[in-house]
Copies of this chain bind each other. A is one copy, B any other.
Amino acid sequence: MEKFMKLALKLAKKGAGRVSPNPLVGAVIVKDGKIISTGYHKRYGDFHAERSAILNAKTSLEGSTLFVNLEPCCHHGKTPPCTDLIIESKISQVYVSILDPNPLVNGKGVDILRKNGIKVHVGLLEREASYLNRVFIKYITKKTPYVALKAAMTLDGFICDNLGKSKWITKNNFNISHNLRNFFTAIMVGAKTVLKDNPQLTCRNGGRNPIRIILDYEGKLAGKNFNVFDNHSRTIVFSSRCEKYNGVECYPETRPEDILERLYSLNIDSVLIEGGASVLSQFYDFSDELHLFYAPKVFGRGLSAFSEFEKYIDEEFDLKIRKIRRLKNEFYLEVIKNVYGNY
């Protein structure tokens, strides 16, 4: 059973960066132990995974089993309810990893299937499935975007040496970094990072470009030709000087909580914050996960990633190290702060 759900999860991931603010969903249909069809939610507005798998099938689905990592929908959205189609197709059994986190739906899709004589099992690979849709779960249940922080630092925690240089502390993070840029809907940096590095903030390993969010509270970048203002992706500025920003989407919020509220109202479900220290520090308390890259360097003194706050040893940190991965002579740490769902 697990191997079919694993495949569903793998398919679901292929939608990363394209389905926001929808969840990532994959579906696998099995009959007599053989996979007869698969599908996934490819892009916002496209068919849901279940619909796609059902329509892809070349043979009758009567008596087959459907594996899907999220509870099938039972309401009319952009597409008709998947539950209807499942029932019509005479699928006899459905494995669901997690229920729809939306409290208005939560369990209703499963109820409808069961009322129609379909055997439904909930919970297969629940942890993997909640983790995969952590952005969606937070966005739906907390009504605020999921926030990830990213920093590259020395073994002693510096993102910049004392001459202000940060290029390049780590050298082997390209793929993970650009996967993150594809995975999260938006990417955020402060004005200082733009002034110093003039980054493009695009995804350059085949994914789609994230929406670029620039925190330029004082309007220092307005009217200038920085790469973040090119046409490779949508750019949103937060500034108390929006009047200087002709033709650029600009909002007046400057407090982290207000900025996140604005992003939620713009249907932006997630944001990856790439620095510098000032922005990382401001958003730390609002963040859900950290992506830390460490290089085999020791600066002794320099700029610390979170140098604008001060916490003490006796506080509760509630950080969980989820992944440690070696990247040649460097390493990468994924740390989870807030858990939405069971993972």
Residue ranges of A at the interface with B (Cβ–Cβ < 8 Å): 153-158, 161-163, 165-169, 281, 284, 290, 292, 296-302, 304-314, 317, 319-321, 324, 326, 329-331, 333, 335
Closest to A296 in B: B319
Check A321–B311 contact: CB distance below 8 A: no
Check B313–A321 contact: CB distance below 8 A: no
**In-complex Cβ contact of A331 among B157, B304, B307, B324 (8 A):** B324
- Complex CA gap A193/B312 in Å reads 19
Check A320–B329 contact: CB distance below 8 A: yes
Closest to A316 in B: B297
Check A301–B296 contact: CB distance below 8 A: no
Check B312–A321 contact: CB distance below 8 A: no
Check A313–B297 contact: CB distance below 8 A: yes
A-B contact pairs, 15 of them (CB 8 A): A153-B157, A155-B290, A156-B304, A156-B305, A156-B306, A157-B304, A163-B312, A165-B312, A167-B313, A281-B300, A299-B311, A300-B308, A319-B329, A320-B329, A321-B329
Check B312–A306 contact: CB distance below 8 A: no
Closest to A299 in B: B311
Known: A312-B161, A324-B331. A304 touches B301 (CB 8 A): yes
**In-complex Cβ contact of A296 among B168, B305, B306, B321 (8 A):** B321
Check B155–A312 contact: CB distance below 8 A: no
> Which B residues are in CB contact (< 8 Å) with A307?
300-301
- Complex CA gap A15/B166 in Å reads 45
CB distance from A330 to the nearest CB of B (A): 7
Check B301–A333 contact: CB distance below 8 A: no
Check A335–B155 contact: CB distance below 8 A: yes
- Complex CA gap A331/B319 in Å reads 13
Known: A156-B304, A307-B300, A308-B300. A166 touches B330 (CB 8 A): no
- Complex CA gap A324/B327 in Å reads 11
Check A298–B313 contact: CB distance below 8 A: no
Check A165–B313 contact: CB distance below 8 A: yes
> Which B residues are in CB contact (< 8 Å) with A333?
155, 331
Check B298–A320 contact: CB distance below 8 A: no
> Which B residues are in CB contact (< 8 Å) with A155?
157, 290, 292, 319, 333, 335
Check B310–A300 contact: CB distance below 8 A: yes
> Which B residues are in CB contact (< 8 Å) with A300?
281, 284, 304, 306-311
CB distance from A336 to the nearest CB of B (A): 9
Check A166–B313 contact: CB distance below 8 A: yes
Closest to A163 in B: B312
Check A319–B306 contact: CB distance below 8 A: no
Closest to A169 in B: B313
> Which B residues are in CB contact (< 8 Å) with A320?
296, 329
- Complex CA gap A326/B329 in Å reads 17
Known: A156-B304, A163-B312, A311-B161. A317 touches B330 (CB 8 A): no
